[in-house]
Structure 1
Amino acid sequence: MSHHHLSGLQVSSLSDTLNFQTFNSINCNGRLVDLSVPKIMGILNLTPDSFSDGGKFNTEKSALEQTHKMLTEGAEIIDIGPQSTRPHAEFLSAEEEINRIGSMISLIKREFPEVLISLDTFYAETVRFGFNEGIDIINDISGGHYDDKMFDTAAETKLPYILMHVNPSYETMHDKIKFADIVLSINQYFSEKTNELLNKGVKDIILDPGFGFGKTVEDQMKMIDEVKYFGFGKFPLLIGISRKSFIYKPLGKSALDINEETQKLHLKVLQQGAKILRVHDVAEAKKTVDLFMSKRV
């Protein structure tokens, strides 16, 4: 092999390293978070009508207790959601979201300074409020569709932005669309939106293919099998399948009765490179991540 060829190899491997830097870490408010070990994101619903928590964690005291429990069980990110996005949930304005969050973010940060907080909202105004309160990550289920100021606000805060695939409007969020090729369609969407985000100056993007949002059971099973193709390996992937109906409905089970099936699917997506699992049951997901890590070595 000629010397010239070798130097060419070195150059290409260097540019590959640069391309995949996002993979190794994300920058949360100046804190580099290493993703070489997959992270668990625990769900903290602040919604009185949330379908699975039944509003048990509504008060500050129980929200702090739930956060403590999830952190002890192995979560490193806590995802705070003031608004339920399940089918037929009540629709909140940004102002109502901000009122519902109250001082929850700063309370959690004071109590658990090491925690990373992601804020689950599709409003730029709620993001600005959260940023001032100390959030670390923006988790927008709408891909910037429901608020045209979202991408600019993400760029201003310099926080990592979770880009989710979803139908283009709040009203159509849960309309089941049959895609000719689900993975191709999601990748076209990711490609377009990540270009837009990068052009606006958003540095850290995490991709979420949007399980549970307007997709058929068959398509979602195909997505599980083809997780490795999402985003062409350029960005870290977040997978949120916890208590989603595409798992429990075909089995004739309830949302709370599918742990074993869920963990099998979690393992499958980790083996394909998923970096963040968004879950209700942290302890069980932690066992799966540990199992994955022990097999990987």
Structure 2
Amino acid sequence: MFSNSQTLQPSDPKTYSINCNGRLVQLDTPKIMGILNLTPDSFSDGGKFNNENSALQHAEKLLNEGAEILDIGPQSTRPNAEFLSADDEIKRIGNLISLIKKEFPEALISLDTFYAETVKFGFNEGIDLINDISGGQYDEEMFDTAAQTKLPYILMHVNPSYKTMHDKIKFEDITLEVNRYFSKKTKELLEKGVNDIILDPGFGFGKTVEDQMKMIHEVEYLGFGKFPLLIGISRKSFIYKPLGKSPLDINEETQKLHLKVLEQGAKILRVHDVVQAKETLTHFLRKK
């Protein structure tokens, strides 16, 4: 089923290294993941990069600005977005993954999908990480497929179905709830042989503004210290709506929050605005 026959070894979670197709990536220094949306309907950059030439140009721009990981998203997951099948996603991706790999061989490519079939396609094209917003809940084959690829898997906290992913739930204790979810899901993944797991608390998905701000202040308590944390707050409504601003006008506020989560141990920042995030990361590293 898979063309890549490498056998990868599990990383030691205490060192926060991940094995990306045989390439050991250390996360002791936090990384910036640049968002490359291929969708016509993403909320802040829809339609800008949904052809090969513009997507390649944007990939180059993100890398030149300081991104080390490119997160390719063929399907928008904003509220009321168009729903695509796995076949639709694969058609939308086309040759882009292999083209980026050819042009920028040092770039790490993450594929943002909740479909096992899209992961299989992406794996054969050369992706380095799986970014599944569903935590394996929207496709029952996802965890098994992740195990077969031996790629690092980004596990996000989210509501249990596609239709309810954005339903706001007020949790009694959001940090406790997210950790319960992570505990259950990481156990399943490890038992199946997924050895490199990255945790994403799921900012922007089915959580109140208050709960999301609570998570920002309690990042250090998420994930038990066993797995590296990815934080994706770029252009999220819990930041801009209370301020009465647009997604494109909250850079200063976003960078303050990025610094706060870095200080609490976040290892990957998933962002649209790489230049600003890089400045924040540089500032953080100088302070250490």
What range describes the TM-score normalised by the shorter chain of this pair? over 0.9
> Which residue in 2 is equivalent to 1:91?
83
Check conservation: 1:22, 1:204, Cα contact below 8 A.
no
Number of matched pairs: 279
Deviations, residues 74-108 of structure 1 (Å, cap 9, x unaligned)? 00000000000000001000000000000010011
Distance 1:230 1:60, change over 3 A: same
Offset, 1:48: 1.1
Write out the 4+ residue segments of structure 1 that deviate beyond 6 Å after TM superposition.
none
* Alpha-carbon distance in 2 for matches of 1:190, 1:36: 21
CA distance 1:19–1:90, change in 2 (3 Å): closer
SS in 1 for 2:127: coil
**Partner in structure 1 of residue 116 of structure 2:** 124
The corresponding residue for 1:231 is: 223
- Verify the 8 A CA contact 1:45 1:81 in the aligned structure 2: yes
Question: Is 2:21–2:128's contact at 8 Å kept on the other side of the alignment?
Answer: yes
Question: Retained in 2: the 8 A contact 1:82–1:97?
Answer: yes
Aligned to 1:220: 212
1:45 CA displacement: 0.2
- Structure 2: 5+ residue runs without aligned partners? 1-9
Q: Could you tell me the percent identity over the aligned residues?
A: 80
| Bigger radius of gyration | 1
8 Å contact kept, 2:11–2:196: no
Provide the TM-score with structure 2 as the length reference: 0.95
1:210 is aligned to 2:202: yes
Query: Is 1:266 equivalent to 2:258 in the alignment?
Result: yes
Deviations 1:238-273 (A, max 9, x none): 000000000000000000000000000000000000
Q: Partner of 1:256: helix, strand, or coil?
A: helix
Q: Judge conservation of contact 1:23–1:234 (CA < 8 Å) in 2.
A: no
Per-residue Cα deviation, 1:104-147 (whole angstroms, up to 9, x for no partner) = 10011000000000000000000000000000000000000000
Residue 62 of structure 1 is aligned with which of 42, 54, 66? 54
CA distance in 2, matches of 1:133, 1:227: 34
In 2, the alpha carbon distance for the partners of 1:245 and 1:22 equals 33
- In the alignment, is residue 52 of structure 1 matched against residue 44 of structure 2? yes
Separation in 1 of the partners of 2:269 and 2:169?
24
> Alpha-carbon deviations, 1:1-51, whole Å to 9, x = none?
xxxxxxxxxxxxxxxxx9963543100001000111100000000001111
TM-score (norm 1): 0.93
In structure 2, the partner of 1:112 is 104
